[in-house]
Structure 1
Amino acid sequence: MADQQGSKTEPRDDQWDPQAFAQDMQEITEHAQKLFTDFLSRQASGSAGLPFTDPLNVSEAWLDMTAKMMSNPAKIMEAQFNLWQEYMALWQNAAQRWLGQDTEPLVRPDRHDMRFKDDMWQENEVYDFIKQSYLLTSRWMLGLVHDVEGEDSPVAKKVDFYTRQVVDAMAPTNFVMTNPQVLRTAIETRGQSLVHGLEHMLADLERGKGQLRITMTDENAFKVGENIVTTPGKVVHQNKLMQLIQYSPMTETVHKRPLLIIPPWINKYYIMDLREKNSFVRWAVSQGHTVFLISWINPDESYRDTAFDDYLAQGPVEALDVIEKAVGESSVNAIGYCLGGTLLGMTLAWLQAQGKADRIASATHFTTMLDFSDPGELGVFIDPTTLEHLEEEMFERGYLDGAEMATTFNMLRSNDLIWSFVVNNYLMGKEPFPFDLLYWNSDSTRMPAAMHSFYLRKCYLENALREPGAVTLAGVPLDLTKVKTPAYFLSAREDHIAPWPSTFRGAQIYSGPVRFVLAASGHIAGVINPPASNKYVHWTSTSRSKNHETWLAAAKENPGSWWPDWEKWVEKYSDGEVPARQPGEGKVKPIEDAPGSYVKIRAV
């Protein structure tokens, strides 16, 4: 039987067949040779990208660091001497352990580092030495880069980021001969775990057409609309860019003012509606909201010239008109998540300039950046040279490929989202565990070339959105400083995609009342945290400080989910109660059942 992690049956002694094992290896080797030959031919023909280009402009950053090192050889010598001293101490400790003496480790893994959880890393002298040697060398490499480059410049951040990628890749846990758990499994299965691992790797290479696309979960375990994304509702409107879903009520009365949710189109909306137990959509409906949600199309090459203006006009602006026809309400409470929150901010400024600010009574921003002066680690992927190369590829193809976007985000947490799967799938030979969140994460979306170029240049590269009139959408210059709509900003303390100091600065731009709440955990878990799970904490504060550290110092730590805090806040803008509304009762008739067809379009 498969174990809890999905490993295949371990062979008993009487099952061991050396001839069959050799035959398996021969067939896999032949299959691998064909795949690798195809991969090399793609590289040679340029169909998989030019082999000697540097699209991320990493070489320039490394050259800059090398020049600085050469200009200060004393600093390098000092760092090398310190590393030598630490290794001498490590050798001394190791010798004492081999002689049976107790010693304290010179360096320990971070308590959140799950790579070294196997008991052998602590109990076996050899593996303990390998572990500490790696940790000492990693600390030396990262410290040296930091000392040479400093902290603030874009080059320094790029060098630091890619140094950490190298450090993570070279971990002893990522290699067969230096991972005790992998070796133990290989011995117990008579080598079959390595065979299965090679099969998994070849299957992922084949799925990625020569590029390694790691399988993170059992993708056959989930089906959108059947065992995930199941909150009842109807698609009540659609255009080229989106379907608008109205969800069926769960209460006899509902808030008079409906709720419009604007998800990002970098990922699919159903992170907010995975399962019944963790669905924000279902929870909001159960609180008496008439919930409308935008489900964005997964665009192909025909959307090449689709602009950010189109996402504004055919997204929230058109949705407001449809909602008014559906339930007779001209004003909504609105939520925007990540990029959807950035679009919500642009919509508020656009409506303000049009004299229609009252169409959105309150605005909630989930992990949203409006000020991009410090975009965190995503900034290492965005500089003029890198962006020019990306634009060249996007406009040739018509879109940014979803797999490329997914790889970028996975690199922000490479140990959790890359190397753990390399070990589990390829070295241990286990089947990926069925996990709804990872299924959603693997269901990637494409970005239209024109829209994404505008977004990266105006927001990330120029940080123009915070400047009055510097960004124009649908013919209207935007000025976020004139937005007076009451706003709720929810950020996450460990967010690698929208760092909370940046989201905090963005919350200062509006001129209306703002409630800022900080959740524990990251970009997803900090937001999708239902009250019933009783996980994490959140911070609230009455401080009016414009400094995020001062705000946090004065904040109150509250147990559990922030969802009830938001519900208490948004109820003030709900305009009373009315009998529950069913989709299709108004002037807008249903097209199909939720979750609709747009969300089911997968990138291949």
Structure 2
Amino acid sequence: MSGSERIKETPAPLAELMMSQDPARMQVLMTTLALANVESQGLLADVMMGSGPLGTVSQGDPMRVGEAFRAVGWSFATNPAAMFNANLELMTSWMKLWQEMSMEAISGKPEKDKDKRFSDPEWASNPGFRFIRKAYEVNANWMNSLADQAPGLPENLQLRAKFFTQLLTDTLSPTNYLGSNPTALRAFFETGGQSVLEGLRLARADVKKGGGKLYISQTDETPFRLGENIATAPGQVVFRNDLIELIHYAPTQEKTYSRPLLIFPPWINKFYILDLQEKNSMIRWLVDKGVPVFVVSWRSADEVTQDYTWDDYVQKGAYAAVEATMQASGATGVNTVGYCIGGTMLSSALGHMAKTGYDKIKSATFFASQSDFELAGDLRVFTDGPGRSYIDGIIEENGGVMPGSMMYETFNWLRPIDLVWRYVIDEYMLGKAPRPFDLLYWNADQTNIPGKVHQRYLKDCYDENRLSTGSFDVLGETVNLKDVKIPVMVQASKDDHICPFESVYRTSLVFGGDTQFVLSGSGHIAGVVNHPDAKKYQHWLNPDLAETGGEWLENAEEVPGSWWPTWWDWLRPKSGRKVEAKQPKDMGLGAAPGNYAKVRLSDIDLPL
């Protein structure tokens, strides 16, 4: 049986499997291990020969993690009472562990673990593995609590210490190592070592793909073709400049609403998360409602756009798209959507429009987007002095561009259990080749970002929170979002690790007009893109804004299913009267999904 085959549903106890290895199987195992040794040496050579995308920036301690850890240590060293309490907590936890293990030995009923990393039955049935798991949990929980218990720790150092301690404890999980992962050990013996051999080959392929740096393949990308089996909603590119393509999607109704909807997706990823497949396409769903839909497709930063600024994204992105949408549709105004950083840009543009009297945008919806960054979550670890210096070094080494590969890594390490270690185990330890998955294909289809845009986003928005405090400059004007009086709906996702619920909720308080807030279940992607036909998750409604998201949620009504119908109830009255549908005009610029979306990172030579 190859390492890529599924392990049987009810595996035999690991001890029995190990004892059942006869001489012939052991000979096969030793032969396979010899081949694995060759592969491991080849893997080391691939790493040594490759330069990797970070160069010298990755050397030393650019994020000054050591400084944060030393600050925690010094805080305890100068506060004996706090140190005593921390040590007492650890000792008490270990005493409780010994008591639990003794009681389980007597009762024979081991406690089941809710952590999906420890779902293999061996973690509960085998006393040795059960002790390893519980000991890890005791130590990890204690380590992760230290930054919160350290007296007088500055907020930025506390955030850095908590973030990297969590990364450390996630890395140290016994499930991440062959010798202490019963699933991997079982596969090792059942396949005669083939699982490890195949895992090393997959690792070598990923290192070669990353140019000498491990670039974990989360999915098999080969089956997907944009415009053929993914991003297939019909439409035309009706406008193009150096920064954007504007796509007008073909109507499916004889009559449509008169006011079009213009969507600004994030430029960190590509727009087609809104049109992955027919069954979950937001774009198709809106078109079927009779909405004239226009979507911006951002150009991945290259030698043409490497020096573009935030003002360029407002001028060549927001303003240009609004004007082109009105020209293509014949409308005198548009409704808009901003998703993630696309929403941050849109809110800054709305501030400038309010300041200058430009009134073409009639409403705005924000998907998982922040304009107030006071509670912006773990990404703030990259926005203080050391974090920005680290990012600045990467941008400098890449010719003024923030490479998409680095953004991909950053977001993966915000959820390492699900987006890193899961694939390390499945691929490199179990030898399972990645399977095709449209969402993960999109996630890996990253874009480069102009360095100046990214640097300003981190400094002025995340670190200094200028956009929400009326001190953010756009096209020579200092904008105040309280001047934005158009109707606004703000959507957040309850389990969003990129734009946390409480942070997005604060964004609903920064505008000066009528603002509605809706909270959906799930995270940054599934919380937004949740087709009603899927009948998944839920959302919460409360027409009265409170001081905090927690207070708002206490009095909110939980509604089963997607939040899209609630949004549509809000958007429909703002979409104008019904008129004869207008087909997208063929401007000679190509069909949806356009040219910019088809450019991969490998197609771009960064101007080093």
Is the TM value for this pair above 0.5? yes
**Could you report, residue by residue, the CA deviation over 1:334-373 in whole angstroms, capped at 9, with x for unpaired residues?**
111011111111121122122122x111110001111111
Aligned to 1:21: 32
Write the deviation string for residues 7-61 of structure 1: whole angstroms up to 9, x where unpaired: 9xxxx9899856863663354244224213315xx49xx9722564322121221
1:477 partner SS? strand
Query: Does the CA-based 8 Å contact 1:251-1:286 persist in structure 2?
Result: yes
In the other structure, the counterpart of 1:256 is 258
The equivalent position to 2:93 in structure 1, one of 43, 62, 86, is 86
Moved more, 570-579 or 49-58: 49-58
The whole-number CA distance in structure 2 between the counterparts of 1:577 and 1:557 is: 32
Provide the C-alpha distance between the structure 2 equivalents of 1:509 and 1:94, rounded to a whole number of angstroms. 53
CA contact (8 A) 1:5 1:432 kept: no
206-215 or 71-80: bigger deviation:
71-80
Match of 1:431, SS state, is coil
Written as runs of structure 1 = structure 2, the 5 A alignment for 1:411-490 is: 411-468=413-470, 470-490=471-491
Within 5 A, what are the aligned runs for 1:128-147?
A: 128-147=130-149
TM superposition shift of 1:103: 5.3
Partner Cα separation in structure 2 for residue 52 and residue 576 of structure 1:
60
Give the match for residue 560 of structure 2: 559
Would the alpha carbon gap of residues 68 and 284 (structure 1) be closer, same or farther in structure 2, given more than 3 Å must change?
A: same
Aligned residues: 588
Q: Which residue of 1 aligns with 2:278?
A: 276
Show the counterpart of 2:13: none
Whether contact under 8 Å (1:150, 1:156) holds in the other structure is no
Contact map agreement 2:3 2:194 (CA 8 A) in 1: no
Report the alpha carbon displacement of residue 104 of structure 1 after superposing the two structures with TM: 5.9
* TM-superposed deviation, 1:97: 4.4
Q: Which amino acid aligns with 2:554?
A: A
Q: Which residue of 1 aligns with 2:544?
A: 543
Matched, 1:329 2:331: yes
Moved more, 86-95 or 300-309: 86-95
Secondary structure class of the residue paired with 2:469: coil
Q: Are 1:38 and 2:45 counterparts?
A: no
* C-alpha RMSD of the superposition: 2.5
Q: How far apart in 2 are the matches of 1:594 and 1:453?
A: 31
Q: 1:151 Cα deviation (Å)? A: 8.5
1:29-108, aligned counterparts within 5 Å?
A: 29-39=40-50, 42=51, 48-50=55-57, 52-95=59-102, 97-98=104-105, 101-102=107-108, 105=111
Kindly report which structure 2 residues correspond to 1:113-132, keeping only aligned pairs within 5 A, or say none: 113-132=115-134
User: Could you list the runs of 5+ residues in structure 2 that have no partner in the other structure?
Assistant: 8-21, 603-608
**Partner Cα separation in structure 1 for residue 420 and residue 190 of structure 2:** 25
Deviations 1:141-177 (A, max 9, x none): 1123321157981211111111110110000100111
Give the superposition deviation at 1:447.
1.0
Match of 1:243 among 242, 245, 253: 245
Distance 1:594 1:28 in 2: 44
Higher alpha-carbon deviation: 347-356 or 129-138: 347-356
Of stretches 420-429 and 386-395 in structure 1, the one that deviates more from structure 2 is 386-395
Q: 1:493 touches 1:499 (CA, 8 Å); kept in 2?
A: yes
Residue aligning to 2:16 = none
Give, in angstroms, the shift of residue 433 of structure 1. 2.1
Partner of 1:597: 595
CA distance in structure 1 between the partners assigned to 2:316 and 2:377 by the alignment: 30
- 1:118-267 to structure 2, matched below 5 A, reads 118-148=120-150, 153-267=155-269
SS of the residue aligned with 1:490?
strand
Distance 1:71 1:525, change over 3 A: same
1:492-539 deviation per Cα after TM superposition (whole angstroms, max 9, x unaligned): 111111112121112111111111101111111110111011111101
State which drifts further: 47-56 or 162-171. 47-56
What is the letter of the counterpart of residue 136 of structure 2?
Y
Secondary structure at 2:452's aligned position in 1? helix
Identity, % of aligned positions? 37
SS of 1:230's partner is coil
Question: Per-residue displacement from partner, 1:514-567 (whole Å, max 9, x unpaired)?
Answer: 111011111111101110111111011122423322211111111100000111
Aligned to 2:511: 510
Q: TM-score, normalised by structure 2?
A: 0.91
Within 2, Cα distance between the matches of 1:336 and 1:191?
50
SS of aligned partner of 1:324: helix
Counterpart residue identity of residue 202, structure 2: H
| Cα-to-partner distance string for 1:37-93 (whole Å, 9 max, x where unaligned) | 315xx49xx972256432212122112111102112343343334323432443344
> How much has 1:461 moved relative to structure 2?
1.4
Partner residue, 2:384: 383
Moved over 6 A (4+): 1-7, 12-16
Bigger mean CA offset, 301-310 vs 401-410: 301-310
Question: Which residue number corresponds to residue 341 of structure 1?
Answer: 343
